[in-house]
Amino acid sequence: MTDRSRSPRIESPASIGSVFDLIRRGTARTRREISRQTALAPSTVSLRVDSLIAAGLVEEAASGQATGGRQPRFLRVRGDAGAVVSVALGTHHFRLAVADLVGRVLHVTECPIDVALGPAAAMREIWERTLIALGDARVDAGAVRGMALGVPAPIDSRLGTVTSSAQLPGWGQQNLYDLIKRHTELPVSIQNDANLLALAEFRAAGPDVGHMLAVKVGSRIGSGVVVGGRLYSGSSGAAGEISHSRSSGRSAIHCWCGTPDCLESVAGGAALVARLRQEGYDIGGTADLVALAGAGDARAVELLREAGGLVGEVLSYVVNFLNPDLVTFGGQLSGVPPFVAAIRAAVFQQCLPVVTDALEVRVGTVGTDAEILGGIQLILDRTLDVNRVDKLVANGWTG
């Protein structure tokens, strides 16, 4: 199951950015290891490394363990060389993290937001809170290298627009890049929240996983796809939108997508809440549904089991097609064991044995901050991309 695509691709001859990438990924920790992996002459490696040190991106420290009278000196990325901001937008609040350049979280905060006021107001609020969070984290705004924004809706990545979404009324077709640019010139990466979940879970999954699906099951259903070690977002950024595929259940709510009995309108948290309300339950949202199931309410558990089977049914088509190593679940409903068990059972029943033989299907391990952690990874990968590092060593951060 080892996937070679996780190994960094080294151009020949390795540029400064490629050498930095080896250090950043922990693939090479000393000058000698870089020389061995790139086939660069030791003198060239030294020039590259010295440039990275001079640019403030890398530092070299003694290991503390002397071998043969000489202490090996290890290279590592300097966390204090900059900072990034990652925001995960929800329907009633957003979480915001400030991290350093090695992805260490320096500060996390949660802020209420009224998404019904529209995306322009939301982007202003996010930026104002970002400035406050940077102050709390004691990070100079000038040290911030980029920002990631996770949005609970399908995003057309070419245009930076939200496709119609029940969670974000009035946000359809508005360009979020343009709206955030009113406040900052920072590079901003915007992604669907399930894609950020996938990035975080993929990183946590370890080197044996090359292909995976991360499914977010909450009020809505979405998934992020990693293929060959990379996030696969498709032609327009909508890859993984399994929620608007037709299911064999019956809709409990109207869905904007227009597909009759789409999975989200049948088995998403909002649909199950609507069904329970129709049956006389006085519940507010998906969190109440999770609490009801946790308290052992037989009808809530029954509905969640049925819904899990329907999610598993749609997922099995995707799993048969994609043949991943791993499927993980995140979001509020992933905390309901009968729901997850029903999805697993359906996937293992309905997929080919050759697909399920080595397949792992489980709840994600990263926890509730998976999306902001995925966002940190996304923006760091962009900021510290091989070509960008080549340019910034030559021209500085503004180059």
Q: Footprint of Zn ion on this chain (CB under 5 A)?
A: 244, 255, 257, 262, 264
Nearer to Zn ion, 137 or 255 (CB): 255
- Structure tokens given for 260: 């009759």
Rounded least distance, CB 266 to Zn ion, Å? 9
Nearer to Zn ion, 255 or 314 (CB): 255
Q: State how far the Cα of 65 lies from the Cα of 141, in Å rounded to an integer.
A: 38
Q: State how far the Cα of 266 lies from the Cα of 257, in Å rounded to an integer.
A: 13
Phi-psi map region of 327: left, alpha, beta (phi>0 left; psi -120 to 50 alpha): beta
Nearer to Zn ion, 253 or 283 (CB): 253
Q: State how far the Cα of 305 lies from the Cα of 311, in Å rounded to an integer.
A: 10
Nearer to Zn ion, 95 or 244 (CB): 244
* Kind and range of the H or E run holding 59: strand 58-62
* Kind and range of the H or E run holding 144: strand 144-151
List all residues 6 or more positions away from 314 whose beta carbon is below 8 Å from its beta carbon.
Answer: 242, 245, 247, 263
In the block, tokens 């901003």 appear at 188
Q: Amino acid letter at 276? A: L
First to last CA, the chain: 40
Rounded least distance, CB 153 to Zn ion, Å? 12
Rounded least distance, CB 218 to Zn ion, Å? 15
Rounded least distance, CB 217 to Zn ion, Å? 15
Rounded least distance, CB 233 to Zn ion, Å? 19
| Alpha-carbon 110 to chain mean position | 18
Q: Please state the three-class secondary structure of 364-379 as a single string.
A: CCCCCCHHHHHHHHHH
Nearer to Zn ion, 37 or 265 (CB): 265
Q: State how far the Cα of 51 lies from the Cα of 58, in Å rounded to an integer.
A: 9
Nearer to Zn ion, 257 or 336 (CB): 257
Nearer to Zn ion, 264 or 371 (CB): 264
Q: Name the DSSP letter for residue 333.
A: G
Rounded least distance, CB 261 to Zn ion, Å? 9
Rounded least distance, CB 255 to Zn ion, Å? 3
